[in-house]
Amino acid sequence: MNLVETLRGTVGAANVLTGGDLRAWEEDWRKRERGKALAVVRPATAAEVAAVVKACALAGAAIVPQGGNTGLVGGSTPDESGTQVLLSLQRMNRVRSLDAANLTMTVEAGCVLQSLQETAQQQGMLFPLSLAAEGSCTIGGNLATNAGGTQVVRYGNARELCLGLEVVTAQGEVWEGLSGLRKDNTGYDLRDLFIGSEGTLGIITAATMKLYPQPAATLTAWAAVPSLEAAVTLLGMAHRGLGAGLTGFEVMGRFALELTAKHFPQLRIPLYEQAPYCVLLENSDHESELHARGRFEQLLEAALGDGCATDAVVAENIAQARQLWHIRESIPLAQAEEGLNIKHDISIPVSRIPDFCREADALLRQAIPGVRLVNFGHLGDGNLHYNVQAPVGGDMAAFLREQEPKVNTIVFDAVGRYDGSISAEHGVGSLKRDKLEKHKSPVALDLMRAIKRSLDPHNLLNPGRVLKV
């Protein structure tokens, strides 16, 4: 019996797709990669995933795990060989249990992030992981990429929100590591090994995630700041003034907002014409809206007095707050409307971000006269989406072809000089795999290869991603 027939026997013929339009699984979100799978396989249980992995291992077929296929680094689509099995977790979408007293929920890997936020909310709780792809990305994908998003400054990345995992190994065994324990020092942390491994070490089938009490009030403000230094000063003031109430701190460069205004003229973007940067702050308060507003206004008045903000507005209601977040989340879409661009997802110690940007901006402008920089991101986490767009009127495709290596070298070398990371929250995938070879220490790469070889000795799980083995 050939592999496809075995897989049909394992998960049912209706859940093994080999013909028709498979673009939704075979093409990545950015439409930069398009592969061809031997089959798209959609198991419904961990036992079925294990059986699929065993069958693939026996046949020597590589497996590419996939959740919502919203990843941005070319990690979730098959190569062009037509030999890889695309394993979609989308049918594993049950909430297995919710333990309100323990503040945890145990969910299957294919649960869509937004549905988990809603599940928590219905129980009067908060599941804080939040990112613009939340309507289609899955918790399995979030954990496999250790996703960040907009609440990291308070709640951490996906890793910090996870207490336990259920994982199918490359040998087709099920590791039952689901646990609601906040303390468990019984040897090596297997959970943290799989989180962020981008499908190269095991297939996450379920997870136990932390929940939080819902804040009594969440307020959003928008401030114009005269420089990145001022934004960093304001961040420090917000940490001191709001404490754990500071749940979001985003920065947006003027050109990023100009592009957003150009492509989405219906959005009313405050204050952007008067300052080089705007910041978006979120304050979640466990007392009351009145208390939240009082502390926010105190903070912003102090910032205006110190000159680290030149103007500021606080959203009056939830609709206005949503509008402000919507502006921030529209930047990548506005950039896509403007044309092809070179994306970077970097992190730098917050204190060094102003110097980094000054240096990298100057080097890029010197190397490519007229180049346009779309700089925005999660300043509270030291994470910038430092993107590079062709000069006005330039041929975007040619720009990408001819300038991408040069631009990447300038940016990543500067990241190295400032002790930063070339991938803050999106992962490595295939897009940054070769860059990792240059920017990670040889000792770290050796340790990573040793882990990969011992967990997946036949290189069956997402081969060619993250590491050259």
- Binding footprint of ligand FAD, residue count (CB under 6 A): 37
Look at residues 28, 21, 31 and name the one whose alpha carbon lies nearest to residue 336.
Answer: 31
Look at residues 378, 367, 443 and name the one whose alpha carbon lies nearest to residue 405.
Answer: 367
Distance CA 202, CA 168 (A): 6
Chosen residue from 8, 328, 426, 452 binding ligand FAD by CB under 6 A: 426
Q: How far is the CB of 442 from ligand FAD (least distance, A)?
A: 24
164 binds ligand FAD (CB under 6 A): no
Which two tokens mark 21?
A: 């339009």
Residues in region 181-220 near ligand FAD by CB under 6 A: 198-199, 203-204
Closer to ligand FAD by CB, 224 or 334: give it: 334
Closer to ligand FAD by CB, 131 or 364: give it: 131
Confirm if 77 and 88 have CB atoms less than 8 A apart.
no
Chosen residue from 35, 43, 67, 380 binding ligand FAD by CB under 6 A: 67
Residues in region 272-291 near ligand FAD by CB under 6 A: none
Residues in region 69-108 near ligand FAD by CB under 6 A: 69-72, 75-76, 89
Q: How far is the CB of 157 from ligand FAD (least distance, A)?
A: 8
Q: How far is the CB of 368 from ligand FAD (least distance, A)?
A: 26
Spatial neighbors of 227 by CB under 8 A, at least 6 apart, are 276, 277, 354
The helix/strand/coil state of 252 is strand
Closer to ligand FAD by CB, 133 or 230: give it: 133
Chosen residue from 15, 142, 151, 341 binding ligand FAD by CB under 6 A: 142
Instruction: Look up residue 313 and give its DSSP letter.
Output: E
Closer to ligand FAD by CB, 68 or 463: give it: 68
Confirm if 378 and 148 have CB atoms less than 8 A apart.
yes
Residues in region 27-56 near ligand FAD by CB under 6 A: 29
Q: How far is the CB of 418 from ligand FAD (least distance, A)?
A: 21
Residues in region 299-358 near ligand FAD by CB under 6 A: 332
Look at residues 398, 467, 384, 408 and name the one whose alpha carbon lies nearest to residue 433.
Answer: 467
Residue type, 186: T
Question: Looking at 52-60, 131-139, 263-271, 410-418, which segment touches ligand FAD (CB under 6 A)?
Answer: 131-139
Question: Looking at 144-152, 169-177, 399-407, 440-448, which segment touches ligand FAD (CB under 6 A)?
Answer: 144-152
Look at residues 238, 248, 395, 245 and name the one whose alpha carbon lies nearest to residue 321.
Answer: 248
Distance CA 244, CA 413 (A): 34
Closer to ligand FAD by CB, 145 or 283: give it: 145
177 binds ligand FAD (CB under 6 A): no
Count the helices and strands in the chain (H runs, E runs). 15, 19
- Taking CA atoms, 152 is separated from 136, 282, 402, 441, 454, in Å, by 20, 12, 35, 26, 32
Which two tokens mark 440?
A: 């990670």
Which two tokens mark 60?
A: 């020597």
Binding site for ligand FAD (CB under 6 A): 29, 64-72, 75-76, 89, 109, 131-133, 137-138, 140-142, 144-145, 147-149, 198-199, 203-204, 332, 425-426, 429, 462, 465
